[in-house]
Structure 1
Amino acid sequence: METDPKQRGVNSPSMQRLHGRSDYAQTGDGGSELDNFHSPPQPPFDSEEMRGTMQAILADNIGNYVVIEFLIGTGEILRKQGMLYLVGRSYVTLYDEPANHFIVCDIFSVKFVYFYMPGERPRYNYNTLPPTSGEPGMGPRPYR
C-alpha cells in the first residue's frame, strides 16, 4: 500500500501525540508551529534524483525514535537522539520529548542512524553534553 509522500510519518503515534498538543498549530505555508518552534513544510523526496538518498529514507520514517551519529571534523563522532520530526534537503530535526527541545542537525554530517522499535529507547541520553567551562552541577556523574 503506497503512502502519500507528503504524509510520511504524520500518522505515527508519536506524531499524532505531538499534533494533539494544545500548542501545536498548522501554518498557512504547510509547515507547523509547536511550542514556538516553526518548521517549514516537509519537502517531498520522491523525485528521481532524491530516491534512495539519506533524506528520503529519513523522511519515510518520520515519527520514529532514532539515535544519529554525526562525524565532526575528521575523527570525532557525536550522537543525538530523539523523535525524527522533520527532514529537509540539508538538515534533519529531532524532537527530544523529555526535555521538550528541538534539535536541528546538518544532514551532510550524518554517518549512521539507529532506529528504535516503538516504545524502546537507548539506555543512555546522548543529548546530555559534557561540561565545557566548569558550570556548577555539570560535572561527570560518578559510577555506581
Structure 2
Amino acid sequence: MSEPPFEIVVADYSSSMEEWQRAYSAPKSELPELTAEQKETARSFKISEEEYARGVLAGLYGQERMKHRARRLGDHVQSILDEWGSGDRVVAVIYDTDKLRWILGIQTAGGTSHVAFPRELADDIIDWGLREQLKELKARLVQGLGREVASKNK
C-alpha cells in the first residue's frame, strides 16, 4: 500500500489476542532489538528479554493494524469530501486512546478543522460499511466543519 496523503498518528500499543499469538509463534529472528531501557524493564519484571521482545512485537503488530484502519477511515472520509466537491482534504488521522475516538484533521478554505468520531462508529464503517453509520459520519462531518451540504449529498 502506498503512503497515505495524510499524516497518521497511532501512539498506542494495543494488541489483539491474534497478534499476541502471532508474536509468540514468531521465530527469534523476527523479534525486535530491545533498547537498554526495555532490557531493564524486562529485568525489573523478572521476565526474559525474549518474552519482553515478543510483547513488543505484539504491540508493533497492533500498531500496524491500527495504522491500516486509520488509512481506511481517512480514505473513506476523503471520498465523502470529494463527493461534496468542497476541495477540503484530510490532512491527519489521529487515534485518541484515552477517549477511544478518532480525530481527523481536515484542511478547508478557512484553515484546519478537527472532527472527532467515536471508535465504534469508525469500526462499523470500516468493517461493515453500514448505511446508518455512514449517515451519522456525514452528519458529524457537516457539524464539525460548520457548514451546510447540498441535500443530494447528505
TM-score range for the pair, normalised by the shorter chain length: 0.3 to 0.5
Which has a greater percent of helix? 2
Tell me the TM-score normalized by structure 2.
Answer: 0.32
Which has a greater percent of strand? 1
Q: Which structure's CA Rg is the greater one?
A: 2
Tell me the TM-score normalized by structure 1.
Answer: 0.34
**Comparing both chains, which one has the higher relative contact order based on Cα–Cα distances under 8 Å and sequence gaps of 6 or more?**
2
